[in-house]
Amino acid sequence: MKIALGALTIALTATLAVLASSSRGHSASGHLAEPVAEMAAETSVTVPPAPLHEDAPVEAPADGPMSEDAPDASEVQAAPLPPPARGAALQELVAQSRQENEQLAELRQQLAAEESRRQDEATQEAEQHAARLEALDTLRQAEASLATGDSDGVDDKLVRAETALSGRTRLDVEAAREALARSDLFPAREYLVAALAENRK
């Protein structure tokens, strides 16, 4: 396009030069100059802008308005999901807490059973102590009866007292009963005195 315009310009210039040098003189050249100038103006071609290449990317304006369909940033925010590691840690914590609760409950049961056993032992020991004291009191009554020569009902008292006694004291009570069976009141009384002396030590 630029080459064609250049050639046209050269042709017009040459025509003007020929007309200027003709024998008609300055008047004729002045009248011809105006039509030639008008012709040059009419033949001027406006060069259109070069078309964009088909593959050239079209850039959107930096500050252009956003599409109405685009979601708002506040609406796009979603609730964060717990990662798998956090879920596994929570499950492990729950399992550990459950195991600790079970161990604590088992420990409480053991303590309760131990306390109950101690109470039973203490109760049994108290009962045995009370029975022993009552048996010793029965031995004193039997010894006092034998001291007066009265042996009625002494053997029955010794049988009841014998069950609550043990060791050397019980052996002395058995010996006293054997003496009573032979009607030997004095030896029987002596064995009862020895049994009572054993418990005063």
Question: Could you tell me the pTM of the whole model?
Answer: 0.46
> So what's the pLDDT on residue 198?
85
Residue type (1 letter), 118: R
> So what's the pLDDT on residue 88?
81
Only one residue has tokens 């033949």, namely 43
Beta carbons within 8 Å of 22's beta carbon, 6+ residues apart: 28, 29
Which residue ranges in the chain fall short of pLDDT 70? 1-84, 201
CB 164 within 8 A of CB 131: yes
Side-chain half-sphere CA neighbours of 80 within 13 A: 4
Only one residue has tokens 């796009």, namely 76
> So what's the pLDDT on residue 93?
87
CA distance 185 to 177: 10
> So what's the pLDDT on residue 9?
66
CA-based nearest residue to 132, from 101, 162, 158, 88: 162
> So what's the pLDDT on residue 141?
92
> So what's the pLDDT on residue 7?
59
> So what's the pLDDT on residue 94?
87
> So what's the pLDDT on residue 14?
65
> So what's the pLDDT on residue 151?
87
